[in-house]
Structure 1
């Protein structure tokens, strides 16, 4: 008789990235061990109700779907992913999600809620006045903190044992940042007993995740049908490149991820800094620049010589001096990243990549600005990135963006106030949430003025 999986990996966030990344690695592990010997499976749920249609489709497909990958040369491969064995139905109390997270068989809880989903300001303080955080401080479950706090409370009551909380979003020092946000959240809720339990029974490893995964388009299903003869209502597409680096600091049992080329390391800092500053920051800059030039896709934007040069100069002139020496070959990393962005077969949209800029500026870009000033340099190449964002958001303010801009921490009134002020550039450059210790400094304001004027011309 077939053996049942022993351990559950609960993932919160049913977007395409999880299904193209973490679920793919667990699928590979399952394929290695065989269905009858598999010790792990994924349970998939969501905090919000915006993925209910997708979850219903995956439930009908028994959690299975096809992943299409495409190389820069246009080589397409198809694989049916089978690691998701349980779909958690959504309800406004997240009762089923909490029950799954609190089950003794659940040993790892991972999540992808986007950069804005952590509600941390430039000083890494929880934005307690945010309406979603304020709601959850009163017992709600709109945010990752609300959901996890309910899970951990029930887990403690069930004596379900230790658990690893694994952040898989592009947040610098993501495990530590999430841990600090959670501690602030529980402190504000005066959950002292749970706080003590968390410190002894929970770990939050830092991770670095990488795979470009655009939103699925309607033509994927037809290619899947042609290639595999499968009618799939929830296929996902990604580039062929993939990487996952995880700090080996698990609280309880974990899958043997090293068997499927996950890099388990003692410290992820070098990988993380290269990823966030080189890949993520450049990606966003290309999306903002491409949008300003009337382009829709990342690949076509990257192939515009002036945009590619802007990204190349940013990495070469300012990021590499900040990160050197490094165990990575940063020049090679830069070139591979730009090649990946140029992949004409991915068709990743500028809209998707341009999102959450209010979190990306302080997370991916401001650290390089600060370090370069500390090194005695003027970060002219890096300053073009926030200058692009200023021009991009001015289009949003004017209502002339070609798409809806999505940002988890967008305060529309505050952003409109930038451009309605007597000196919009000064107001923007004085925003502490974006620019930390540089905010309001005369030399930084002047640098941004020059960068904005240069880009406008």
Structure 2
């Protein structure tokens, strides 16, 4: 890579996580004097326009507040976003930047549900958003990249790395398979061949808890830094990024700022998704069901913490062993991070997108337990909690709006209005794959749901008495 040439890392998905994670790493490179790479930031949808406008006014700069479990706060002005890409319905700025030869990496964070994959990890062509993109729209990452890369070919801009930064197992590989399937359905063979030959999609593992910004951050940032930030955010002090070193058009020297560049991310990925992500969802669903609002208070509730601990210890660690990681130590670090009261991470944020998290984070452990003739009692607690959570959603009794990128509200309400909602849930192949036809799993799920109903009643009774 030319040591003098300037390169652009374009990111699609102007959410908090990118600004607290990938942008932080590139900022650290700039602080070391390596100015070869900078970020151009944009969004597929118009829901981030206020944020993009705020960042534009600040020339892409903002303050990141990080906090340790002991309450130690640190403030950094992140300077790696050098270009803010305004949104319009045609994605004009996004397409122009992505098609520019100086753009060597296009990364994205569109949540787990944003890839529209079924339980076999194949693209779901029936999804309305995918259907719309097949007709020429750009609602999804696939339609967006099709538009960008078509223009890139026209400009002869050369190869580019397509980097998935979402919590999706084998995220680069599964995104790539989905994208190639989309292009095949579209019938665009020249573009499909170009993508195969002139792009790479490394797998990655990303980790930093980043809650949605709350109103108290800006005043604290102003007091501590003197900067009246229009787009501040906060995250935990812990951060990790593991990437397979397969960049087709050059890359920043990420290894100089603590990124682990590896041949395979699999051990880190599996540990993170099953131990951290699935436990996080377990705690959020359970905490919501007994009237709690924050991850730390739910993790500090002994019975909820025990659910997560037992799930990892009884079922996940045997599934992932042997591993180059100390899985017991990783479990304990994760739970300690969740107990951090200063993050103020909400159960609402973590509870989101359960319809993607069940098949992605949880069902693999269920299947592996059955494969080794072990009854997955501890893991079954997680989908049972989600069933009870969605039952509350159906009854309009959740304390917040539930967000799920692949939720068909009418279909879900119909399920809960049926004669046996739990049977419909247990037999859902999109959630449980081959377990959907396993009678013993359905019985286990019924028993677990019934047990959790009693637990919820006990917990809420204790809460009323304590008040």
Matches of 1:21 and 1:41, distance apart in 2: 14
State the partner residue of 2:128: 131
Partner of 2:184: 187
Counterpart-to-counterpart distance in 2, 1:276 and 1:229: 38
CA distance in 2, matches of 1:147, 1:427: 35
Q: Which residue of 2 aligns with 1:154?
A: 151
Does the residue aligned with 1:166 lie in a helix, a strand or coil? strand
Q: Secondary structure at the match of 1:309?
A: helix
Secondary structure at the residue paired with 1:439? helix
Residue in 2 that maps onto 1:318: 315
Tell whether 2:378 aligns with 1:381: yes
Aligned to 1:345: 342
Shift of residue 426, structure 1, vs aligned partner: 1.3
Does residue 82 of structure 2 align to residue 89 of structure 1? no
Alpha-carbon distance, 1:126 to partner: 1.5
Name the stretch that deviates more: 219-228 or 162-171.
Answer: 219-228
Counterparts of 2:233 and 2:269, CA distance in 1? 25
Deviations 1:161-208 (A, max 9, x none): 110000000011000010010001000100100111111100000000
> Aligned residue for 1:441?
438
Distance 1:213 1:164 in 2: 25
Q: CA deviation at 1:413?
A: 2.0
Cα-Cα RMSD: 1.0
TM-score by length of 2: 0.96
**Helix, strand or coil: the match of 2:437?**
coil
Mapped to 2, the partners of 1:273 and 1:9 lie a distance apart of: 27
Q: Is the 8 A contact 1:20 1:67 kept in 2?
A: yes
Does structure 2 retain, via aligned residues, the 8 Å contact 1:426–1:440? no
Label 1:5 to 1:24 Cα distance change in 2 as closer, same or farther (>3 A): farther
1:262 aligns with 2:259: yes
Which of 345, 354, 367 aligns to 1:357? It is 354
Summarize the alignment of residues 288-327 of structure 1 with structure 2, pairs less than 5 Å apart.
288-327=285-324
Structure-1 residue corresponding to 2:13: 13
- Residue 404 of structure 2 is matched in structure 1 by 407
Gaps of 5+ in 1: none
- 5+ residue gaps, structure 2: 455-467
Question: What is the Cα deviation at residue 149 of structure 1?
Answer: 0.8
Which stretch shows the higher mean deviation, 224-233 or 319-328?
Answer: 224-233
- Provide closer, same or farther for how the CA distance between residues 4 and 264 of structure 1 changes in structure 2, counting only shifts above 3 A: closer
Counterpart Cα distance in 2 of 1:436 and 1:156: 39
Q: What are the equivalent positions in structure 2 for 1:136-147 lying under 5 Å apart?
A: 136-147=133-144
Q: Give the drift of 1:124.
A: 1.6
Runs of 4+ in 1 over 6 A off after TM superposition: none
Structure 2 distance, partners of 1:172, 1:436, is 16
Per-residue deviation, 1:80: 0.2
The CA deviation at 1:424 is: 1.7
Separation of aligned partners in 1, 2:22 and 2:170 = 18
* Per-residue CA distance 1:92-131 (angstroms, 9 max, x = gap): 0101101100100000000001111111111222121211
What residue is the counterpart of 1:32 in the other structure? 32
Residues 440 and 418 of structure 1: is their aligned pair in 2 closer, same or farther, counting only changes over 3 Å?
Answer: farther
Counterparts of residues 30-109 of structure 1 (less than 5 Å): 30-33=30-33, 38-109=35-106
Which of 442, 447, 456 is equivalent to 2:453?
456
TM-score, normalised on structure 1?
0.98
**What corresponds to 1:332 in structure 2?**
329
Name 2:458's counterpart in structure 1.
Answer: none
Aligned partner of 1:239 in structure 2 is: 236
Is the contact between residue 208 and residue 271 of structure 1 (CA under 8 Å) also seen in structure 2?
A: yes
- Which deviates more, 263-272 or 118-127? 118-127
Hey, what's the Cα distance between the residues in 2 that align with 1:440 and 1:403?
Answer: 33
